[in-house]
Amino acid sequence: MSPLRLEVFEGQADAPDQAVMADSGYLEDLKLAAYEQGYAAGWEDASSSDESDLRTRQLAAARNLQALAFTHHEARGLLLRALAPVIRSLTDTILPEIARAALGAVVLEEVTKAAGQALEAPLALHVHPGSRALVEPMLQATTGLSVLLLDEPSLPPEQVLLRAAPEERLIDLADSVARIRAAMDDFFQTPPTGDPG
């Protein structure tokens, strides 16, 4: 193979026809170095592009998750606001009726506890005259309890006063219903925890 002659563009302006001789090994080394430099630059560009693409996908995923969390939070809030009137209606209408119907069972449970604690003392149960019909059948159905059932017009229908010397216990279902209502109101007025923002 014949040596290659290259023209020199630098340096001497007075000798325009001088050429530099370079052998083919030197040229191959130059080509290889240029190829490796280009390959490294391409690899670096691809790596930075991959990192940039990964970061973009991570940011998009984070935005989507935040939107999903907000949507869940918003849907939960809408559902609770929609359910609030139904739950309040239940606590205002059905719960007092349930409490009234359960008065006899609650009284029987308290009388049984009191009878167990005061074996010798007589038990006196003071009820509103309108509640007597709810309580009396339960007491009569339970054998072995000696309870004096007394009408007390000053008591509201939802209250019963149990006296067993030396203590007395007030059973107040209206207060229980009021506490349940207050708890429900607090639940619907308190913002949910876990705010996505």
pLDDT of residue 51: 80
**d(C-alpha 84, C-alpha 46), whole Å:** 56
Question: Per-block average pLDDT, block size 10, for the chain (197 residues)?
Answer: 75 54 77 87 82 83 79 76 76 73 71 64 82 82 75 88 79 80 76 53
Q: How many CB atoms lie within 10 A of CB 184?
A: 17
Question: Per the structure block, which two tokens stand in for 125?
Answer: 């149960």
**d(C-alpha 74, C-alpha 1), whole Å:** 80
pLDDT of residue 151: 92
pLDDT of residue 15: 52
Protein fold of 60-189? hypothetical protein PF0899 fold (3.30.2320)
According to DSSP, the β-strands at 147-151 and 123-127 are parallel
pLDDT of residue 153: 92
pLDDT of residue 191: 63
pLDDT of residue 158: 83
Q: Give CA separation, 53 vs 47, 61, 106, in Å.
A: 10, 12, 67
Q: Give CA separation, 103 vs 29, 126, 131, 145, in Å.
A: 102, 13, 8, 18
Q: How many CB atoms lie within 10 A of CB 94?
A: 10
pLDDT of residue 60: 84
According to DSSP, the β-strands at 159-164 and 167-172 are antiparallel
Q: In the block, which residue shows the tokens 């308290």?
A: 110
